[in-house]
Amino acid sequence: MTASRLLPKMLLLLVSIFTAGVYVFSLEGIFMYTLHEPLSLHPTLLAPAAFSFYIFAPIVAGMLGLSIFQFFPKQRANKRLAKSRFYLSVSLLLLAWWAMTWCYDLLFVSAVSAVLMAMALGRAAMQLELRTTAMPSEVWFLRAPTMLFLGWALFLAVVNWAMLLQSLKWKLGGLTPDAWAVLLILALAMVALWFCFRYLDLFAVTAIVWGFLGIALKKGVSISVKRVVWLSIFVMALVMLIRAPRKLLEET
């Protein structure tokens, strides 16, 4: 294996390890606050319950697994992996930067980082050619962690910006906080359904559904917002159940 081919792989592996370390430090509160505390510092109708942030564990573990998977002999000729590697490395660095700025309560910086992270992951998803049939190993070690990460990044970006605007006492364009929350929830649900119908991808949808559960089960959320959240969860879960058999048939 030449140095020019090894370097990008090693970079992704090192970035994955670095991001995992930042995640562990953020749980311990080394960066001023723990990963969950900013949710209560800037409460909004879209801020999920603290347990929803546990999804970071499978995301970080999945990306570590992906960084090891790329060294498998059969993946040397995987052009989809090669084309997405740069964007995956960038997204992991942005996740580490987001976690640190988030824990230091730098909401504007973390909100911008979340958007950039979602954009980098979106680009990586395009390089993965999701409509192309792949081997089960590629589905679970490459597509699954990437798309789960993308779905959560989209949810995180919306939550982070909602918290930032709330902290700035933005007037929400004349709409009530409930109305804004409902609009953003419906927008996220439409994005999740688009992924499901266009790409038959269930992993990004799962991440968004998990975020919605965090909102629905949090105390203090208004009845109107909870109803829309539960309705969105029901619709997305129903679509996933309908599309999952087709997805499994295509991957076997």
**Which residue ranges make up each domain of the chain?**
3-250
| Residue 181 contacts residue 194 (beta carbons within 8 Å) | no
- Ordered alpha helix ranges (H), 76-222: 79-103, 107-127, 136-138, 144-167, 177-199, 203-216
**pLDDT value of residue 3:** 63
**pLDDT value of residue 148:** 95
**pLDDT value of residue 194:** 84
| ∠ Cα 243 248 251 (to 5°) | 125
Q: In this predicted model, what pLDDT tens digit does every residue of 20-66 receive, in sequence order?
A: 999 999 998 899 999 999 998 888 888 999 999 999 999 999 999 99
Q: Which residue has the higher pLDDT, 145 or 191?
A: 145
Q: Which residue has the higher pLDDT, 196 or 252?
A: 196
**pLDDT value of residue 126:** 92
pLDDT exceeds cutoff 80 at 236: yes
Contacts 24+ apart (CB under 8 A), 106-113: 107/38, 107/42, 107/160, 107/163, 107/164, 107/167, 108/164, 110/160, 111/157, 111/160, 111/161, 111/163, 111/164
| Rounded alpha-carbon distances, angstroms, from residue 115 to 110, 158, 184, 248 | 9, 9, 15, 31
Q: In this predicted model, what pLDDT tens digit does every residue of 42-51 receive, in sequence order?
A: 888 889 999 9
Q: In this predicted model, what pLDDT tens digit does every residue of 127-176 receive, in sequence order?
A: 998 878 778 889 899 999 999 999 999 999 999 998 898 888 777 667 78
**pLDDT value of residue 70:** 94
pLDDT exceeds cutoff 80 at 234: yes
pTM, full prediction: 0.92
**pLDDT band (50, 70, 90) for residue 118:** very high
pLDDT exceeds cutoff 70 at 248: no
Q: In this predicted model, what pLDDT tens digit does every residue of 66-116 receive, in sequence order?
A: 999 999 988 888 999 999 999 999 999 999 999 999 999 999 999 999 999
- The closest alpha carbon to 192, from 142, 229, 140, belongs to 229
**pLDDT value of residue 4:** 65
**pLDDT value of residue 131:** 76
Q: Which residue has the higher pLDDT, 100 or 1?
A: 100
pLDDT exceeds cutoff 60 at 250: no
